[in-house]
């Protein structure tokens, strides 16, 4: 299983707009990805309700993971999005 540990770069954490950006990016990746707060229980990264339910705050660590064969690039892109608090998914890593 591939995973990335990343600190949330959005000051407000994964709430409202940042969560929406993240969920859209996770869905667009076409790869099944989970997100967990620290070492907590992973949830589906493509589910807005699940991501909001994490209550992840800015500066907290989250773990992005996938067991798909082609997950490395998707995880890198999502990790960059989360760490830098970007407003959209970067085209390249």
- What is the domain extent for residue 70? 2-84
Decide if 80 is inside a domain.
Answer: yes
Whether 90 maps to a domain, the answer reads: no
Spatial distance between the Cα atoms of 29 and 46, rounded to a whole number of angstroms: 10
Q: Is residue 46 part of a domain?
A: yes
CATH number of the domain to which 52 belongs: 3.30.1340.10
* Whether pTM exceeds 0.75: yes
Total domains present in the chain: 1
15 domain-assigned: yes
Helix (H) or strand (E) holding 62: strand 61-66
* In a domain? residue 27: yes
Judge whether 34 counts as a catalytic residue. Answer: no
Per-residue pLDDT of the chain in tens (93 residues, 90 and over written 9): 999 999 999 999 999 999 999 999 999 999 999 999 988 999 999 999 999 999 999 999 999 999 999 899 999 999 999 999 987 666 644
Q: List the catalytic residue out of 9, 15, 68, 85.
A: 15
* Contact (CB, 8 A) for 3 and 79: no
């Amino acid at each position: 299983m591939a995973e990335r540990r990343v600190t949330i770069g959005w000051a407000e954490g994964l709430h409202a707009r940042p969560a929406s950006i993240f969920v859209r990016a996770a869905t667009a990746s076409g790869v099944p990805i989970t997100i967990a707060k620290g070492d907590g229980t992973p949830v589906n990264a493509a589910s807005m309700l699940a991501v909001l339910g994490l209550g992840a705050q800015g500066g907290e660590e989250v773990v992005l993971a996938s067991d798909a064969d082609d997950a490395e690039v998707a995880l890198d892109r999502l990790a960059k999005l989360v760490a830098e608090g970007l407003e959209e998914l970067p085209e390249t890593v």
